[in-house]
Amino acid sequence: MTRYALRTSAEEATVAAGRALAPLLQSGDVILLSGDLGAGKTCLARGIAEGLGVGHPVTSPTFNILLVHPGRVFMNHFDLYRLDSPLQLEDIDYWGTLEAGGVSVVEWGDRFAESIPEDRLIVAMTITGDEERLFDLDACGGRSERLASAWIEACSSIAGATLEGGGQP
């Protein structure tokens, strides 16, 4: 298991962090986003989508639960906020969609133990100021750990994003 912490000082830095993650992603990857309302999950997802070459603004999937965006690799943008039971994961074909490919970004992704894949990358976002957000990366499993460390490295050159401490194996 690896942990990293990243701080962004503006919305644009969060979007840029998402954009920096995109080139590292391949079909089958799943990124879980967690954190309170307004933490910046959709902002980060927007950055990832931009980086994947999605040509339109990525809106909040809360109501629709799943919005699929075509890009270099297509992106499944899930939001589990409105689900109130892990049983509903089956109803929305959560695992089927994840396994069918594309990059999957899941807001409120740690809402249920059942929604977390074995090899997991969770980005827990906290509001630390009006314009400031702290991301805690929790990576577990070969693919997710490699992804997290490559992403953190890619973020080092983003203005307004600062890395807090190093990876702790």
Partner 1 sequence: MSAVVRDMTPADIGAVLTIENKSFPSPWSRLMFEQEVYAESGRAWLVVEHDGVVLGYGGLALLDEAAHVMNLAVRADCRHRGLGRALLAHLARRARGMGARHLTLEVRERNRSAMALYEAAGLKTVGVRPGYYSETGEHAVVMWSDDITHPGEEARLEELWNRAELDLEAYPDVATGHSAPLVLGIETSCDETAAAVMRGGTELLSSVIASQVDFHARFGGVVPEIASRKHTEAIVAVVQEAMEEAGATFGDLDAIAVTHGPGLIGALVVGVAYAKGLSLATGLPLVGVNHLEGHIFANPFANDDVTPPLVALVVSGGHTSLVHVPEWGVYHTLGETLDDAAGEAFDKVAKVLGLGYPGGPVLSSLAEEGDPAAIDFPRAMLRSGDYAFSLSGLKTAVINHIRHEREAGREIHVPDLAASFQQAVIDVQVTKATRAAKELGVQWFCLAGGVAANKLLRESLHETLSAEGVRVSVPPLDLCTDNAAMIAAAGTWRFLRGERLYLDAEAVADLRLDADDASLKT
Ligand X SMILES: Nc1ncnc2c1ncn2[C@@H]1O[C@H](COP(=O)(O)OP(=O)(O)OP(=O)(O)O)[C@@H](O)[C@H]1O
Nearest residue (CB) to ligand X, 37 versus 113: 37
x-or-dash string of contact with Mg ion, 29-48, rule CB under 5 A: ------------xx------
In terms of Cα–Cα distance, which of 93, 94, 44, 48 is closest to 72? 48
> Which tokens in the block code for residue 82?
């409105």
Give the number of other Cβ atoms within 10 Å of residue 121's Cβ: 25
CB 94 within 8 A of CB 108: no
Based on the shown chain and the rule CB under 8 A, indicate whether residue 34 belongs to the binding site for partner 1. no
By a kind-dependent CB cut-off of 5 to 8 A, residue 91 interacts, out of partner 1, Mg ion, ligand X, none, with partner 1
Sheet strands (E) in the chain: 2-8, 30-34, 66-69, 75-79, 103-107, 120-127, 133-140, 161-164
Nearest residue (CB) to partner 1, 23 versus 38: 38
CB 138 within 8 A of CB 3: yes
CB of 143 to partner 1, least distance (A): 27
Per CB under 8 A, the list member of 9, 59, 126, 149 interacting with partner 1 is 59
Nearest residue (CB) to ligand X, 43 versus 121: 43
Based on the shown chain and the rule CB under 5 A, indicate whether residue 133 belongs to the binding site for Mg ion. no
Q: Which residue has the tokens 């194996």?
A: 169
Based on the shown chain and the rule CB under 8 A, indicate whether residue 127 belongs to the binding site for partner 1. yes
By a kind-dependent CB cut-off of 5 to 8 A, residue 14 interacts, out of ligand X, Mg ion, partner 1, none, with ligand X
CB 161 within 8 A of CB 6: yes
Nearest-angstrom CA–CA distance, 165 and 52:
28
CB of 36 to partner 1, least distance (A): 8
Among positions 65-94, residues that touch partner 1 (CB under 8 A) are 65-68, 82-84, 88, 90-93
Based on the shown chain and the rule CB under 5 A, indicate whether residue 60 belongs to the binding site for Mg ion. yes
